[in-house]
């Protein structure tokens, strides 16, 4: 089949659709101009390359000649990678959620030629099933409505866009933000906590590391042990479950059940980065080697399977893969990770097989689609003795299977989150190769994705797409984390440079807070200030944290003033919807904390190592001089203590 226009794109997601019979366009002026010229509505399909239901909809509908014929006749069809253009995705996801009460991918939205939405949803089956209308009939009805009731459709789209604009507007509320919101945020998580299996709410369960980030810092601020214990319980249960790749390290995207057992098997870089940091927090708080080992397994997975030869980090691995190398197109979810009982007995022995929770007829009891019949998901059912030898044999056997698809594009913000995690891992776990990985990846982004302004995506030697708020904020935070690991002033200077560019491009100086996209993006029907801390922390949360940390490092109060304006802009959300913004609430704790700084001098490596044994999330560290006598000086609560010259003196001071 002759490829469509997507064959010229770099996005792995768009390339997956390059041989569809649909006359796809990438998002851009060529498609918009055709829609305007022919006065056709736009069908916008948004997803990403490791999305299971995106694959299903492609197989069922976009490879279907009859459905393609309807699309090609009546619509201008655009395919968009949400990971490349999160700003476009965010606008239309907000519309779909408001219109239908839920959202997700694949996302299907119908727009006027002026890009205003008038109908939307997520996955549509090809015909009526699962209680959902069939895609072909939806297309036919919308095409008829456009032909026969166009003015009504256009008026509706204008009204909907106006409503969206008012709904997403962020300006300071009459009531200022209150620190009491920190307590109500904690109590909200306490009410939704699952005391049996950890996590919050019921199935499906997503890790949402921003919540764990908040709880550990709330514990540090208040001494509330329940906050600490909820986060620790969640991390331990997740690590024991099938959501954790017990062989290869790293975590799958989410669990379909309440006990973290049956995962949705895709692996995302941003999950690895944030969860590694959560396990480092847990290790600093408890000194329990279990948490350090889990963090190491994440780091080692990323270094082995998710790292470009030049140092950048890939985006994701798919959930689906081929069971049979002879039938590469016949893929199923989790095929790479599942085992028969007989395979485990032969390769790992009966003790491991029992401890890993395997059963002769498979261990997934509730399997409505019969996807995992006769197969076993590995989890920590008991004490896995002899794990290292069994793991080696099983990994070798698994390595012979067809691997899941790798989304090998390199995204700035996701790489930055991973760089921060590796920098902290190097410090907390005393592991030089993690620092080497962080510095290589940072150098990769600096060398390949700043031209001179920052770009969002790199793949196959090509960098493109102006970076967004989260790219600038996360990369500047990565530079700060590298500075606090190496104390090279060049990293601090880079963080300040990126922060200056970020403020120039995104800050709403009048009303406070930061827009997610630059004003130069003229292809958006509205410019939003994203604040929801979901699977990834929001750009505003990262920006505020960056500014507060820079204020502490540099003494420049202009940074703090900018952060305070952002808090005021989001005051309504802080006071009434704090569980939606846990990472921003963590930044609020940083803003409210008494200044705490520890300065090292001389050959103070043992003192620095002792400092890193303690969880001190609101403290900054400096090491301006390396000669003279070793000492560590702690200034906290507006008082500077006498320098500590020994590990014992410093330990007493920090405790």
Q: Give the mean model confidence (pLDDT) for residues 66-77.
A: 98
How confident is the model at residue 3, as a pLDDT?
96
Residue 545: band (very low, low, confident or very high) from pLDDT cuts 50, 70, 90: very high
Residues 447 and 494 in one domain: yes
pLDDT digit string (tens) for 614-649?
999 999 999 999 999 999 999 998 899 999 999 999
Q: In 3D, which of 571, 471, 563, 478 has the Cα closest to residue 517?
A: 471
Residues 21 and 126 in one domain: yes
- Chain centroid to CA 62: 28
pLDDT digit string (tens) for 73-113?
999 999 999 999 999 999 999 999 999 999 999 999 999 99
Cβ atoms of 607 and 647 closer than 8 Å:
yes
* CATH classification at residue 44: 3.40.30.10
**Could you tell me the two tokens for 262?**
């049956």
Residues 308 and 259 in one domain: yes
Cβ atoms of 468 and 413 closer than 8 Å:
yes
Residue 387: band (very low, low, confident or very high) from pLDDT cuts 50, 70, 90: confident
In angstroms, the CA 231 to CA 464 distance is 38
Threshold 0.75, pTM exceeds? yes
Residue 367 covered by a domain:
yes
Residues 572 and 457 in one domain: yes
Domain boundary among 359, 384, 400: 400
Residue 113 covered by a domain:
yes
Name residues whose C-beta falls within 8 Å of residue 549's C-beta, 6 or more positions apart in sequence.
Answer: 477, 480, 590, 620
Residues 440 and 347 in one domain: no
Q: In 3D, which of 194, 219, 222 has the Cα closest to residue 208?
A: 194
As a whole number of angstroms, the longest Cα–Cα distance in the chain is 84
Residue 328 covered by a domain:
no
Residue 211 covered by a domain:
yes
For 649, how many CA atoms within 13 A lie in the half-sphere containing its CB? 13
In angstroms, the CA 617 to CA 278 distance is 12
Q: Give the mean model confidence (pLDDT) for residues 262-286.
A: 97
Residue 1: band (very low, low, confident or very high) from pLDDT cuts 50, 70, 90: confident
CB 640: neighbour CB atoms within 10 A? 12
In angstroms, the CA 545 to CA 552 distance is 11
pLDDT digit string (tens) for 158-200?
999 999 888 788 877 778 899 999 999 999 999 999 999 999 9
Residues 426 and 302 in one domain: yes
Residue 70 covered by a domain:
yes
Residue spans of alpha helices (H) in 359-411: 387-398
* CATH classification at residue 461: 1.50.10.10
Q: Give the mean model confidence (pLDDT) for residues 453-474.
A: 97
Residues 157 and 31 in one domain: yes
3-class DSSP assignment, residue 265: coil
The torsion angle over the Cα atoms of residues 405, 408, 412 and 413, rounded to 10 degrees, is 10
> Angle at Cα 108 formed by Cα 156 and Cα 317, nearest 5°?
150
In angstroms, the CA 191 to CA 279 distance is 23
Residue 306 covered by a domain:
yes
pLDDT digit string (tens) for 10-48?
999 999 999 999 999 999 999 999 999 999 999 999 999
Query: How large is the angle between the packed helices 269-286 and 225-240, nearest 10 degrees?
Result: 130
Residues 56 and 147 in one domain: yes
How confident is the model at residue 173, as a pLDDT?
76
- For the cut 80, the answer to whether the pLDDT of residue 272 exceeds it is yes
> Angle at Cα 422 formed by Cα 419 and Cα 428, nearest 5°?
140
Residues 28 and 164 in one domain: yes
Domain boundary among 542, 559, 592: 592
Residue 382: band (very low, low, confident or very high) from pLDDT cuts 50, 70, 90: confident
Q: Which run of H or E residues covers position 100?
A: helix 86-100
pLDDT digit string (tens) for 552-582?
999 999 999 999 999 999 999 999 999 999 9
Residues 553 and 579 in one domain: yes
pLDDT digit string (tens) for 240-266?
999 999 999 999 999 999 999 999 999
Average pLDDT of the residues of the chain: 95
Residue 173 covered by a domain:
no
Residues 132 and 214 in one domain: no
Q: Which run of H or E residues covers position 561?
A: helix 557-569
Q: Give the mean model confidence (pLDDT) for residues 406-412.
A: 98
pLDDT digit string (tens) for 319-375?
999 888 878 788 999 999 999 999 999 999 999 999 999 999 999 987 666 789 999
CB 602: neighbour CB atoms within 10 A? 17
Residues 389 and 442 in one domain: no
Residue 153 is part of which domain span? 5-168
In angstroms, the CA 275 to CA 421 distance is 9
Domain boundary among 145, 168, 191: 168
Residue spans of alpha helices (H) in 123-203: 135-148, 150-168, 180-192
Q: In 3D, which of 523, 573, 524, 576 has the Cα closest to residue 544?
A: 573
Instruction: State how beta strands 596-601 and 631-636 pair.
Output: antiparallel
> What is the tally of structural domains in the chain?
4
> DSSP E strands: which ranges in 235-364?
254-255, 263-264, 267-268, 316-317, 320-322, 331-333
> DSSP E strands: which ranges in 183-271?
254-255, 263-264, 267-268
How confident is the model at residue 69, as a pLDDT?
98
Residue 251 covered by a domain:
yes
Cα-based distances in Å from 145 to 33, 69, 152, 153, 236: 22, 18, 9, 7, 53
Q: In 3D, which of 464, 507, 407 has the Cα closest to residue 28?
A: 464
Instruction: State how beta strands 267-268 and 316-317 pair.
Output: antiparallel
């Amino acid at each position: 089949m002759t490829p469509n226009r997507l064959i010229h794109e770099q996005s792995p997601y768009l390339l997956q659709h390059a041989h569809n019979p649909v006359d796809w366009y990438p998002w851009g002026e060529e498609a918009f101009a055709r829609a305007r010229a022919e006065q056709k509505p736009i069908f916008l399909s948004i997803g990403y390359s490791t999305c299971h239901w995106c694959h299903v909809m492609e197989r069922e509908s976009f490879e279907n000649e009859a459905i393609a014929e309807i699309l090609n006749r009546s619509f201008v069809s655009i395919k968009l990678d949400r990971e490349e253009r999160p700003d476009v995705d965010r606008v239309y996801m907000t519309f779909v959620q408001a219109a239908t009460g839920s959202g997700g991918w694949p996302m299907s939205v119908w727009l006027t030629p002026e890009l205003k939405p008038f109908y939307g949803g997520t996955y549509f089956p090809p015909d009526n099933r699962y209680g959902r209308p069939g895609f072909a009939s939806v297309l036919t009805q919308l095409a008829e409505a456009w032909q026969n009731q166009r003015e009504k459709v256009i008026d509706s789209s204008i009204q909907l866009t106006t409503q969206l604009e008012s709904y997403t507007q962020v300006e300071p509320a009459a009531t200022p933000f209150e620190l009491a919101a920190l307590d109500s945020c904690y109590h909200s998580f306490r009410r939704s906590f699952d005391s049996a299996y950890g996590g919050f709410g019921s199935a499906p369960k997503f890790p949402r590391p921003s919540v764990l980030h908040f709880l550990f810092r709330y514990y540090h601020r208040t001494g509330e042990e329940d906050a600490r214990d909820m986060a620790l319980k969640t991390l331990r249960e997740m690590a024991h479950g099938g959501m954790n790749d017990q062989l290869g390290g790293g975590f799958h995207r989410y669990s379909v059940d309440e006990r973290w057992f049956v995962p949705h098997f895709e692996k995302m870089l941003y999950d690895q980065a944030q969860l590694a940091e959560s396990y480092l927090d847990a290790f600093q708080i408890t000194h329990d080697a279990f948490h350090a080992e889990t963090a190491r397994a994440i780091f080692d997975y990323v270094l082995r399977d998710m790292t470009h030869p030049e140092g950048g980090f890939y985006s994701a691995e798919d959930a689906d893969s081929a069971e049979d190398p002879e039938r590469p197109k016949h893929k199923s979810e989790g095929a790479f990770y599942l085992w028969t009982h007989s395979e485990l007995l032969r390769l790992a022995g009966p003790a491991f097989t029992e401890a890993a929770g395997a059963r002769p007829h498979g261990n997934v009891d509730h399997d409505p689609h019969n996807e995992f019949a006769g197969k076993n998901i590995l989890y920590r059912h008991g004490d896995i003795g002899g794990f290292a030898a069994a793991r080696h044999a099983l990994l070798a056997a698994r390595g012979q299977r067809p691997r899941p698809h790798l989304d090998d594009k390199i995204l700035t913000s996701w790489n930055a989150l991973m760089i921060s995690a590796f920098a902290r891992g190097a410090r907390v776990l005393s592991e030089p190769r993690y620092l080497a990985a962080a510095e290589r990846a940072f150098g990769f982004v600096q060398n390949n994705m700043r031209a001179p302004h920052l770009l969002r995506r790199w793949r196959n030697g090509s960098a493109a797409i102006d970076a967004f708020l989260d790219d600038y904020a996360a990369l500047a935070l990565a530079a700060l984390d590298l500075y606090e690991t190496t104390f090279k002033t060049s990293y601090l200077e880079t963080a300040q440079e990126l922060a200056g560019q970020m403020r120039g491009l995104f800050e709403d100086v009048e009303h406070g807070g930061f827009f997610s996209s630059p004003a130069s993006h003229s292809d958006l029907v509205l410019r939003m200030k994203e604040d929801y801390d979901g699977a990834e922390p929001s750009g505003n949360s990262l920006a505020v944290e960056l500014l507060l940390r820079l204020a502490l490092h540099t003494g420049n109060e202009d940074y703090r003033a900018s952060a305070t304006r952002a808090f005021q802009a989001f005051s309504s959300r802080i006071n009434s919807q704090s569980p939606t913004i846990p990472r921003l609430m963590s930044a609020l704790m940083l803003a409210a904390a008494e200044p705490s700084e520890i300065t090292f001098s001389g050959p103070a490596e043992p003192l620095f190592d002792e400092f890193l044994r303690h969880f001190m999330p609101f403290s900054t560290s400096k090491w301006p001089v390396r000669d003279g006598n070793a000492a560590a000086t702690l200034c906290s609560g507006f008082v500077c203590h006498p320098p500590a010259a020994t590990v014992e003196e410093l330990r007493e001071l920090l405790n």
